[in-house]
Copies of this chain bind each other. A is one copy, B any other.
Amino acid sequence: MSEQESFVEELVNKSEDYSRWYTQVILKAQMADYAPVRGCMVIRPYGYTLWENMQRLLDARFKATGHQNAYFPLLIPESYLAREAEHVEGFAPEVAWVTQGGSEELEERLAIRPTSEAIIGMMYSKWIHSWRDLPVLINQWCNVMRWEKVTRLFLRTTEFLWQEGHTVHRTEEEAQEETLRMLGVYRAFVEEDLAVPVIYGQKTESEKFKGAAKTYSIEAMMGDGKALQAGTSHNLGQNFAKVFDITFQDMDGQRKHAWQTSWGVSTRLIGAIIMVHGDDAGLIMPPRVAPIQVVVVPIWRKEPEREAVEQFVAKLQSVLGSTVRMKVDWDDEHTPGWKFNEWEMRGVPLRLEVGPRDVKNNQVVLVRRDNRAKEFVPFDAVETRVQQLLAEIQQSMLQKAQQFMASRTRTADSYEQLKELMTGDAYAHERGFVLAHWCGDADCEARIKEETTATIRNIPLDAESHEGNCILCGKAGIGKRVVFGRSY
Binding site for B on A (CB under 8 A): 1-5, 33, 35-38, 40-45, 47-49, 51-52, 68-77, 80, 92-104, 109-110, 112, 119, 122-123, 126-130, 132-133, 138, 142-143, 145, 147, 158-159, 161, 333
Q: Is the CB of B145 within 8 A of A45?
A: no
**Interchain CB contact under 8 A, B41 and A129:** no
Residues of chain B with a CB closer than 8 A to A52's CB? 69
A136: shortest Cβ distance to chain B, in Å? 9
Partner of A93, one of B77, B103, B130: B103
A145 in contact with B36 given A93-B102, A101-B96, A129-B2 (CB within 8 Å): no
Q: B74–A159 contact, CB under 8 A? A: yes
Q: Which residues of B have CB within 8 Å of A130?
A: 2-4
Q: Is the CB of B123 within 8 A of A42?
A: yes
Contacts A5-B127, A129-B5 hold; do A98 and B96 have CB atoms under 8 A apart? Answer: yes
In angstroms, Cα B436 to Cα A442, docked, is 78
Q: Is the CB of A45 within 8 A of B73?
A: no
Residues in B with CB closer than 8 Å to A47 are: 70
Which chain B positions have C-beta within 8 A of A98?
A: 96-99, 112
Q: Give CA–CA (A156, B5) in the complex, Å.
A: 42
Name the B residues within 8 Å of A97 (CB-CB): 98-101
Contacts of A5 in B (CB 8 A): 127, 129
Cβ A70 vs Cβ B43 within 8 A: yes
Assess the B3–A110 pair: CB atoms within 8 A.
Answer: no
Which residues from chain B contact A44 at a C-beta distance below 8 Å? Answer: 70
Which listed residue (B3, B102, B132) contacts A132, Cβ 8 A? B3
Give the chain B neighbours of A51 by CB distance below 8 A.
71
Given A98-B112, A333-B132, CB of A48 within 8 Å of CB of B71: yes
A160 to chain B, nearest CB (A): 10
Q: Are A161 and B37 in contact (CB under 8 A)?
A: no
A122 to B147, CA, bound (A): 22
How many angstroms from the CA of A70 to the CA of B35 in the assembled complex?
Answer: 13
Q: Sample 5 A-B pairs with CB under 8 A, ordered by A number.
A: A2-B132, A36-B77, A71-B161, A96-B100, A98-B112
Give me 10 other A-B pairs in contact (C-beta within 8 A), A2-B133, A33-B127 excluded: A4-B130, A33-B123, A35-B123, A37-B75, A44-B70, A47-B70, A49-B69, A74-B112, A96-B110, A101-B147
Nearest to A143 among chain B residues (CB) is B74
Ranked nearest first, the 10 interchain pairs of A and B with the lowest CB-CB distance are A45-B68, A2-B129, A97-B100, A101-B147, A40-B73, A43-B71, A102-B147, A35-B73, A2-B130, A99-B99
A41 to B119, CA, bound (A): 11
- In the complex, are the beta carbons of A77 and B110 less than 8 A apart? no
